[in-house]
Structure 1
Amino acid sequence: MAEVDVSLTAISPRIGRLSVVVASILAQEPAPTRVLIHLSREGYLLDEGVGDLPGDLAALVDGRRVEVVRVANTGPYRKILPWLERHLGTGRMVVTADDDTVYPQGWLARLLAGRAANGAVTGWTAHPVVVRRGRVAGYGRWFGAALPEGPALRVLPIGKDGVLYAGTDFPEAVTDVAVAQRIAPTADDLWLRWHMARAGIPAQAVGQGVALPEVARGGPSLWRSYNRQGGNDAVVAALEAHFAATYGWTMAGGPS
């Protein structure tokens, strides 16, 4: 099996239950090469910063299979941008994961099989990016809309349930964290998809529409605090404007 990392970050309100998440990842067959946990001591957005690790999490960190990497707090971008600093443009694979989701046996194997079948970015779940009358429709219109049967550019993998990438999938511009935080500070999934769609990198979902369970319901999340009440619509509008001005390309005007 090719080497594949699992990369995630965590916010302070969830650090106490992160060991359950990490244990579910380590139990996968095949197992990932490494689990990289990107944490910050300083606060940002919903994260007040993480100092000492809880004992059950510290017991899993061995510096080999499970590693804690201290990074600047860029919010959700910590799960992928530090990894890209080392692996951008390479064939090494990475799955981005969430800090409050339990990953069932077979999760990683199915993501890898999806990637092997056609080389597409592969999420467990995804939404279609719906275009109506020459514009990207409101985010709420994406829910319930039918996904394409195969990989496509207008497919948004959902980061919560896990997304498998290779280092070759990412254009270098995706690493511009200053622009990312200005345009999409809480919507890393959208930032990544816009860049990859412009580069012609399709995406697909392999989880048959089944969202994965959270460790605990409720509590703070970027979705509930920022994105559910129309925040993603503002991000989409900003992305379309930025990509039109910078690249002469938009999601609505490009191929599907």
Structure 2
Amino acid sequence: MTELINTRAPERGRSGAPGAVRRIARRLRKRARSAQARILAGALGFREQRSVDSVLGTEPVVVSLTSYGSRIETVHLAIESIARGKVRPSRMILWIDSVDDLNALPPALKRQKARGLEVLLAQNYGPHTKYYPYVESQDEFTVPVVTADDDILYPEDWLAGIMAASRAHPDSIVGYWIRRMGLGPDGLPVTYTSWPYASDTHPHAANVPLGVSGVLYPTTMLERLRENGDAFLTAAPYTDDLWLHAIAVRSNVPVRQISATPVHFLTLPGTQEVTLASENLAGSGNDRVVAGLYSRTDLEKIRGVGA
């Protein structure tokens, strides 16, 4: 029940209550969500300890995620939130880039392995580890991949919503949370933090899917990713969302938001002290990547379809 109160991405440029009142309201919402997340995390931990049901189901899709460091101790909660879903994937893979961590899995992950979770060793590709080890391991792609994050508590209808959107638009990338690249009068991208959030479900070349809430990549996109190999290590080593968007633009793969308003799900308490997202924003990392990643041809395509 608690995860139904998902925060929509904030709208920009709105006027209303004085700034102090808005700040208080934001703090109260944040505290309420933190309380909801703690309650849900406790319930998921209780469920995991007692469940003998498979984490897998019959949906023709692979759910792929990665974890590292201290998060390996809590990733089972994100996995359990997916495992209790209304529908479940035919494969679920957790990629770990440390042999030591792989050989010393927490008891919860060992129990989930017995229920069908695959825990596999991967090279450290940073945030790209959530999808690229799978891409490079396959000779052909017969089902799409859904990426998930190790610190998000997903609602029961999370995968069902993704699969419904994919069935309606099988050639599209679909996700719950989309930003729309903004371009200035000169045709160049404006500052990343000023990019608006998507407000419809239409495909746009400017749509940048944010992996945190879950994104499905169709088989055609997986093929393009394999063709491009690990070039992201040079072009965008810490910004997987931007790399994936650039490849989608160049490959003419549509990107759609699942609902008219973006959704960010509950975050596992204690996992957000230092994140790639905060580091990128604080250091203008995204803006630097954007400047070097997108070609003039890419930007013309984005302007023509999504500006």
TM-score by length of 2: 0.73
Q: CA deviation at 1:90?
A: 2.5
How much has 1:20 moved relative to structure 2? 0.4
Please list every run of 5 or more consecutive structure 1 residues that lacks an aligned counterpart in the other structure: 43-47
State the partner residue of 1:209.
262
Task: Write the letter of the residue equivalent to 2:121.
Answer: R
Residue 27 of structure 1, CA deviation: 1.2
Indicate how the Cα distance of structure 1 residues 174 and 221 shifts in structure 2: closer, same or farther if over 3 A, else same.
Answer: farther
Residue aligning to 1:37: 94
- The aligned residue for residue 101 of structure 1 is 152
| Partner deviation per Cα, 1:25-61 (whole Å, 9 max, x = no partner) | 111121111110010117xxxxx96651111122111
Larger radius of gyration between Structure 1 and Structure 2: 2
Offset from partner CA, 1:219-252 (integer Å, 9 cap, x none)? 2311122344311000101102xx45xxxx2234
Q: Which one has the bigger helix percentage?
A: 2
Residue identity matched to 1:239: L
Moved more, 89-98 or 68-77: 89-98
In the TM superposition, residue 181 of structure 1 has moved relative to its aligned partner by 1.3
Query: How far apart are the structure 1 equivalents of 2:221 and 2:233?
Result: 21
The code of the aligned residue for 1:215 comes to: L
Q: Does 1:127 align with 2:179?
A: yes
Match of 1:138 in 2: 191
Aligned mate of 2:249, from 197, 204, 209? 197
Whole-Å separation in 2 of the counterparts to 1:237 and 1:174: 23
What letter corresponds to residue 138 of structure 1 in structure 2?
T
**Structure-1 residue corresponding to 2:135:** 84
Q: Deviations over 1:117-147 (max 9, x none)?
A: 122110111111112211111101114x544
* Distance (Å, rounded) in 2 between the aligned partners of 1:93 and 1:173: 14
Describe the SS at the equivalent of 1:131: coil
2:201 is the alignment partner of 1:158: no
SS of the residue 1:3 aligns to:
strand
Matched letter for residue 205 of structure 1 = Q
Give CA-to-partner distance per residue, 1:143-168, whole Å, 9 cap, x none.
Answer: 4x544541222101110110011221
1:168 equivalent to 2:220? Answer yes
Q: 1:9 aligns with which of 49, 66, 70?
A: 66
User: Which shifted more, 166-175 or 12-21?
Assistant: 166-175
Tell me the TM-score normalized by structure 1: 0.86
Q: Which residue of 1 aligns with 2:125?
A: 74
Q: Find the aligned partners of 1:105 and 1:88 in 2 and give their Cα distance.
A: 32
What's the C-alpha RMSD, in Å, of the aligned pairs? 2.2
Pairwise mapping of residues 51-70 of structure 1 onto structure 2 (< 5 A)?
A: 52-62=104-114, 65-70=116-121
Measured after TM superposition, the shift of residue 86 of structure 1 is 3.7
Determine helix, strand or coil for the equivalent of 2:142.
Answer: coil
Letter aligned with residue 236 of structure 1? V
Q: 1:146 and 1:124 mapped to 2: Cα distance?
A: 10
- Say if 1:93 and 1:165, in contact at 8 Å, map to a contact too: yes
Change (3 A) 1:172 1:7: closer
Query: 3-state DSSP class of the match of 1:164?
Result: strand
* Alpha carbons 2:174, 2:257 under 8 Å: kept: yes
